[in-house]
Amino acid sequence: MKSIIVRFAPSPTGDLHVGGIRTALFNWLFAKNKKGKFILRIEDTDELRSSKTFIKSIIDALLWLELKWDNNKIFFQMQHKDMYIKFANLLIDKDLAYPCYCSKKEIEILKKESIASKTPFKYNKKCSNLSLLQRKQLETSGKKSVLRLRVPNTGSTSFEDSIRGKIIFENSSFDDFIILKPNGIPTYNFACVIDDHIMKISHVLRGDDHISNTPKQIFIYKAFNWEIPKFAHMSMILGKDGARLSKRHSHISVLNYRKEGFLAETILNYLALLGWSTEDSQQIFTIDELKRKFSLNKCSSSPAIFDPVKLLWLNSEKIRLKTPEQLCRLFIDWLNYNGNLKLIKDWDYELLTKAIELEHSKIKVLKDILYLVDFFFVTDSELNYSLSEYKIEYSETINILNFVLVKLVVLNNFSAIVIEQCLRNLSKLSGKKSSNIFHVVRFAISGKIKGPSLFHMMEIMGKHKVIARIKFFLKKASKYERKK
């Protein structure tokens, strides 16, 4: 059996967006599932728009998502310019391609004419039958040429798409397209075929925007008499407005999701769900499960709209599956990635882990941890009391807190259970509603009206800090009241 080799071939003309990552992911999953190879090829033949920055960001994104490519090296097309010319010469020798001396301006005029007459543009083959002598004359007169492929103008070309089934094109709808630019650099379709051939690519898995390139590429395969790989075209990912993500929303790099605190495996899991599914509609997968279960015939042929709300849900599910220790590590790595590690430089990691455990169910993105647990670590005066939502009146608040203080000071065992008992007793003793007591204490020590389980939060904070906080709050409150 032929060995399975696939490739991901981005052009470094922009950051990798979710559409690009999905293509990479499906190729990678397909390779892993079939125990094949996954190759990374950078299609940098567009000299004008390609940049090193984008190459770096593409590699960074793949590394973050751990979509590792095989052979431990990256193929750059521009490092193999000579190879394309060699192959092109082969076609000239067999007269399957010919140089064309028409200038860009001449072609422009032809195009305008075809628009005016409402017929599709096709190159008029003006240069297709020049004699060798004529070519030489044009060349010595300084005329630049491109290389065009001879395309059959009768019959049809078809291929069996692994996702969509048979797709047929009439050959007459194609013209003799350009395979080599005047500077000797190949055009996309030519370079793609040469590379896929020399890399022994067995399956070409890409976005369905390439469907109409496929017959052109088949013309090239046939000209060389090469074996044609299997093609599979997956549906596009669209934005909320139903427009293709890769164009109008192209500024959204996947690395942005990293910055926001999404987990790499969330991105992969979610993207896998866009255009692929299992019979039981399973939603949450480990990466190993994805590798094991992925198959092309479960890929959908209709486009999918990217839903950030579901992505967020999935991320919180993934986060819930982590241990507090793992999350703490992930959080630190995330701060480090964003250059914000200094924000927690005085924080005690052991306390942080406990705090994370306490608020685990509320964390949707890593970013959330910061504002969810910061009150454990900041100094009393750094605490921002959000008074706007605070409901209980001043005198009552002072009253309760003074009671609480007296009770807490004498507590030897400052564990959640004991604290709870203590505060509930206080409620009975004083006749004050327990919910009021809890509310007031919560606000005094955290500055918030929402938060983790009160008694656990107090236990973790420790007796010393809890008492100090309450005292600090009382002082602050009395000042505030006097000002009023």
Partner RNA sequence: GCUCCCAUCGUCUAGUGGUUUAGGACGCAGGAUUUUCAAUCCUGUAACACGAGUUCAAAUCUCGUUGGGAGCACCA
CB distance 29 to 290 below 8 Å: yes
Q: Does 418 bind RNA (CB under 7 A)?
A: no
- Enumerate residues 320-349 that contact RNA by CB under 7 A: 320
Q: Does 142 bind RNA (CB under 7 A)?
A: no
Pick from 83, 107, 370, 398 the residue near RNA by CB under 7 A: 107
Q: Does 160 bind RNA (CB under 7 A)?
A: no
Provide, rounded to whole angstroms, the least separation between the CB of residue 174 and RNA: 8
Provide, rounded to whole angstroms, the least separation between the CB of residue 247 and RNA: 6
CB distance 22 to 271 below 8 Å: yes
Provide, rounded to whole angstroms, the least separation between the CB of residue 339 and RNA: 28
Exposed, middle or buried: residue 19 (CB in 10 Å: 0-12, 13-18, 19+)?
A: buried
Q: Report which of 314, 287, 365 is spatially closest to residue 67, judged by C-alpha positions.
A: 287
CB distance 23 to 41 below 8 Å: no
Q: Does 232 bind RNA (CB under 7 A)?
A: no
Provide, rounded to whole angstroms, the least separation between the CB of residue 86 and RNA: 18
Give 345-354 contacts, CB < 8 A, sequence gap 24+.
Answer: 346/377, 347/377, 348/377, 351/376, 351/377, 351/460, 352/328, 352/376, 352/377, 353/324, 353/325, 353/328, 354/324, 354/460
Pick from 142, 155, 242, 339 the residue near RNA by CB under 7 A: 242
Q: Does 319 bind RNA (CB under 7 A)?
A: no
Q: Does 134 bind RNA (CB under 7 A)?
A: no
> Any idea of the CA torsion for 19, 22, 27, 30, to the nearest 10 degrees?
-150
- Enumerate residues 370-409 that contact RNA by CB under 7 A: none
Question: What distance separates the 2 farthest-apart alpha carbons in the chain?
Answer: 112
Mapped onto helix, strand or coil, the DSSP state of residue 330 is helix
281 vs 395 by CB, closer to RNA? 281
* 144 vs 103: CA distance, rounded Å: 8
202 vs 235 by CB, closer to RNA? 235
The stretch near RNA (CB under 7 A) out of 115-123, 332-340, 397-405, 468-476 is 115-123
Distance set, CA 263 to CA 231, 287, 361, 465 (Å):
31, 12, 16, 34
Q: Does 127 bind RNA (CB under 7 A)?
A: no
Q: Report which of 23, 208, 287, 227 is spatially closest to residue 7, judged by C-alpha positions.
A: 23
- Enumerate residues 443-482 that contact RNA by CB under 7 A: 449-456
# residues near RNA by CB under 7 A: 85
- Enumerate residues 176-215 that contact RNA by CB under 7 A: 177-178, 181-182, 185, 187-189, 191, 208-213
Q: Does 249 bind RNA (CB under 7 A)?
A: no
Q: Does 124 bind RNA (CB under 7 A)?
A: no
Provide, rounded to whole angstroms, the least separation between the CB of residue 157 and RNA: 10
For the four alpha carbons of 237, 241, 242 and 247, in that order, the dihedral sign comes to negative
Count of other CB atoms within 10 angstroms of residue 319: 25
- Enumerate residues 252-281 that contact RNA by CB under 7 A: 273-275, 277, 279-281
280 vs 393 by CB, closer to RNA? 280
Provide, rounded to whole angstroms, the least separation between the CB of residue 379 and RNA: 23
**165-170 and 156-161 strand pairing:** antiparallel
- Enumerate residues 17-46 that contact RNA by CB under 7 A: 43, 45-46
CB distance 164 to 301 below 8 Å: yes
Provide, rounded to whole angstroms, the least separation between the CB of residue 188 and RNA: 3
CB distance 147 to 178 below 8 Å: yes
- Listed in sequence order, the DSSP H helices in 274-392 are 287-293, 308-320, 324-337, 349-359, 366-373
**Which strands form 178-180's sheet, in the order they lie side by side?**
97-100, 146-149, 178-180
Pick from 2, 68, 86, 104 the residue near RNA by CB under 7 A: 104
- Enumerate residues 421-440 that contact RNA by CB under 7 A: 434-435, 438-439
Pick from 313, 337, 347, 472 the residue near RNA by CB under 7 A: 313
Q: Does 243 bind RNA (CB under 7 A)?
A: yes
89 vs 300 by CB, closer to RNA? 300
Provide, rounded to whole angstroms, the least separation between the CB of residue 187 and RNA: 4
Q: How many residues does the chain have?
A: 484
The stretch near RNA (CB under 7 A) out of 224-232, 295-303, 376-384, 404-412 is 295-303
- Enumerate residues 49-78 that contact RNA by CB under 7 A: 49
The stretch near RNA (CB under 7 A) out of 104-112, 197-205, 223-231, 391-399 is 104-112
* 342 vs 329: CA distance, rounded Å: 15
**Backbone torsions φ then ψ of 165, nearest 5 degrees:** 85, -160
Provide, rounded to whole angstroms, the least separation between the CB of residue 398 and RNA: 20
